[in-house]
Structure 1
Amino acid sequence: MITRRGFLQVLGSGFASAMALGGYAFAVEPLARLRIAHYSLTPPGWTPGLRLRVVALADLHACEPWMSARRIASICERANELGGDVTVLLGDYASGMNLVTRYVHSAEWSKALSTLKAPLGIHAIMGNHDWWEDRTAQKNGGGDTFGHRALAEVGIPVYSNRALRFEKDGLGFWIAGLEDQLALLPGKKWKRSAMGGLDDLDGTLAQVTDEAPVILLAHEPDIFPRVPPRVSLTLSGHTHGGQVRFIGHSPVVPSRFGDRYAYGHIVEEERNLIVSGGLGCSIAPVRFGVPPEIVVVDLG
């Protein structure tokens, strides 16, 4: 069975023999396009009268030439124009590939993200690559990564299995954020035989103390089958929509559920999940049929 890594590497190596398709997937869609993906919904149990706009950025994968600090700042400027009440960052700020001319330091990408503005704040979680590229965090098996520290230094709170309550127009809602589900790599040098997650869904939701609606930030969408109806909306990234998507289908997705949670608005048993197509690339700088996007969600 072909893996996502194998699929993207094969596609990346085929540029010379497919110049038209490859040139677009390699140079145009990843670099020159930016889509606004807009969703409007009123989840079951949503507080009547509470109208909330959420702007979401996912999977920046900062590196040059594909996602420079200047480009991140430009994306943030566009996000600020969208009038969000809150802006959320869904993880994977660190680069996830070797085909780069320069890695963008965490001090650079966090400075660019510090330009984001929203009346009810900017709220972040970590992604798997933020953990995987931090050797000290891997050795420790927890704690803060360089990503946690970089965001904290520019005043952006990181939710590591935490829930906080906010109000708009006197009506409350919660933002809850999970630590990453694939944070810890297996291997002898880490003394781990299997991939390990640091997420605590039950402990995070236990911090919710009233009936106000909950927005859950979870980098990987694979947690969704375990999310209870108490959560109004789950927001995820990680998949990049498969990075290659044909006629609404992604052939290879980094999820144990395959294409089920690859992209877009998914409703299961009256529970709502929105998966962003993300902004950057991992494994190979290829996008086709799923351009970089900012997600806007109007609730209520």
Structure 2
Amino acid sequence: MCCFLGLPVLVLIRWNVEGFGTIAYSDLSRSPLKAYFYLCACWGVIKLLLLRWATRHRNRPDTLLSNHQVPSKQVTGLGREMFHGTYPRCLSYLPGNQFLKLCVDYKQLKIRRLHKKHSGIRIVQISDLHMTGRVDKKWYVTVIDQVNHLDPDVVVITGDILENETCWPWLTDSLARLRSKLGVYFILGNHDYYVDSGQTCQLLMDAGLQYLHGGWLETQWNGAPVALVGNELPWGSKGEDPLPVLPRDEERLPLQIALLHTPDQFSWACKHDIDLAMAGHTHGGQFRLPVLGPVACPSLYGIRYASGVFRRENTVLHVTRGVSSKMPLRWNCPPEIAVLELVSGG
């Protein structure tokens, strides 16, 4: 710390002695500024490596029993015709852009308090569709085709669905076609408030999707109780808070599930004794460097919860990379449909 604070002072003193004139590069290379530059560069690399190491270990708890990724066959044949407008088309020519490389990520999650009737349930999570018109409707239709092909038990959508009112008709051919055995649930994200979010919600609810807001939604999965809740903070409503405490019998019922738009609400989920929370918003960082991982994320915690599985006490958090973005560009961070199989923690 003394080096970081002291060396700039020495440079200013030197500059003052020179009469605030221009310092030649040959002099600069022998000045304390060169040492300061190298010190900052080395410290930055060390910090990134340490942060990557810490994130990797947080992202691989014993909760994640298995994890494998399969490229989606549904997107075969989709190309630059999916992009509309000069800016998106230009981005499509950038080497390594994985925006159309949709993947299905299969993950087994150990849930400590899981009824035997819930063991094996498969939840498909999608998030961050960002329907703006920059990406063709066919992309979203293809994503939904892939979800339905997976024959999920439950489907959840964790926000940032639509942000251009001209895309409202797209919902009929995409999200309205979602099928699952035990229900399709959704919340909104910050980009959904760019248009009349009430209209978006109404169109989805008319199609049979269930909007999680205003407290617990209690239902049954495979004959055992489940309670679901949504949290759209800090942009939308978090519903009823504090949430009523649900009684849990000797079999630790019901299973409590929360849909969050941002992983910044992980502490909220822990506070309310949620068993499984699912979030999006971060896009997995969208740009991931080899070894170092994501460069930045729109989160209060930086890249800590960029994507993956995390656990704090009894609460498990899954953060998806999402299936799209406002800027159609992804490097080393392909779009994701997450298939979460619940396994009893015993």
Q: Which category of TM-score, normalised to the shorter sequence, fits these structures?
A: 0.7 to 0.9
1:257 to 282, 301, 311: 301
What are the superposed Cα offsets for residues 139-197 of structure 1, whole Å, 9 maximum, x if unpaired? xxxxx53321221232212112332223233222222222x2132xxxxxxxxxxxxx5
Q: Is the 8 A contact 1:59 1:280 kept in 2?
A: yes
2:320 partner letter? S
Q: Output the CA distance in 1 between the equivalents of 2:283 and 2:292.
A: 13
Residues 1:248 and 1:267: Cα distance change in structure 2 (over 3 Å) = farther
1:62 partner letter? M
Question: Does structure 1 residue 176 correspond to structure 2 residue 255?
Answer: no
**Secondary structure at the residue paired with 1:123?**
strand
Counterpart position of 1:213: 255
Counterpart position of 1:199: 238
Aligned-pair CA distance for 1:274: 0.4
1:150 partner letter? L
Counterpart position of 2:168: 106
Counterpart position of 2:127: 58
Counterpart position of 1:242: 285
- Give unpaired runs (5+ residues) of structure 2: 1-86
Residues 1:111 and 1:163: Cα distance change in structure 2 (over 3 Å) = farther
Residues 1:19 and 1:40: Cα distance change in structure 2 (over 3 Å) = closer
Counterpart position of 1:153: 206
Question: Does structure 1 residue 294 correspond to structure 2 residue 332?
Answer: no
Q: Which moved more, 1:110-119 or 1:231-240?
A: 110-119
Question: Does structure 1 residue 83 correspond to structure 2 residue 151?
Answer: yes
Counterpart position of 1:141: none
What are the superposed Cα offsets for residues 44-91 of structure 1, whole Å, 9 maximum, x if unpaired? 22223422110111000113342x322211111110121211111111
Q: Output the CA distance in 1 between the equivalents of 2:169 and 2:178.
A: 15
Residues 1:46 and 1:124: Cα distance change in structure 2 (over 3 Å) = same
**Secondary structure at the residue paired with 1:155?**
coil
Aligned-pair CA distance for 1:112: 1.3
Q: Output the CA distance in 1 between the equivalents of 2:92 and 2:134.
A: 20
1:268 to 305, 312, 330: 312
Q: Is the 8 A contact 2:273 2:314 kept in 1?
A: no
Give the alignment of 1:41-52 within 5 angstroms. 41-51=109-119, 52=121
Counterpart position of 2:269: 227
Q: Output the CA distance in 2 between the equivalents of 1:111 and 1:286.
A: 24
Residues 1:209 and 1:72: Cα distance change in structure 2 (over 3 Å) = farther
- Give unpaired runs (5+ residues) of structure 1: 1-12, 97-102, 138-143, 184-196
**Secondary structure at the residue paired with 2:333?**
coil
Q: How many residues align?
A: 249
Aligned-pair CA distance for 1:243: 0.8
Aligned-pair CA distance for 1:227: 1.8
Q: TM-score, normalised by structure 1?
A: 0.75
Query: What is the alpha-carbon root mean square deviation over aligned residues?
Result: 2.6
**Secondary structure at the residue paired with 1:172?**
strand
Counterpart position of 2:82: none
Aligned-pair CA distance for 1:291: 0.6
Q: Is the 8 A contact 2:153 2:181 kept in 1?
A: yes
1:108 partner letter? W
Counterpart position of 1:100: none
Counterpart position of 2:184: 122
Q: Is the 8 A contact 2:129 2:322 kept in 1?
A: yes
2:262 partner letter? E
Q: Is the 8 A contact 1:91 1:219 kept in 2?
A: yes
Q: Is the 8 A contact 1:69 1:109 kept in 2?
A: no
Q: Quick one: percent identity of the two aligned structures?
A: 27
Aligned-pair CA distance for 1:207: 7.0
Q: Output the CA distance in 1 between the equivalents of 2:234 and 2:161.
A: 15
1:60 partner letter? L
Q: Which has the higher contact order (CA 8 A, sep 6+)?
A: 1
What are the superposed Cα offsets for residues 171-226 of structure 1, whole Å, 9 maximum, x if unpaired? 22222222x2132xxxxxxxxxxxxx5224634x4274553111110111100022
1:298 partner letter? E
Q: Output the CA distance in 2 between the equivalents of 1:258 and 1:82.
A: 32
Q: Is the 8 A contact 1:62 1:93 kept in 2?
A: yes
Q: Output the CA distance in 1 between the equivalents of 2:108 and 2:237.
A: 31
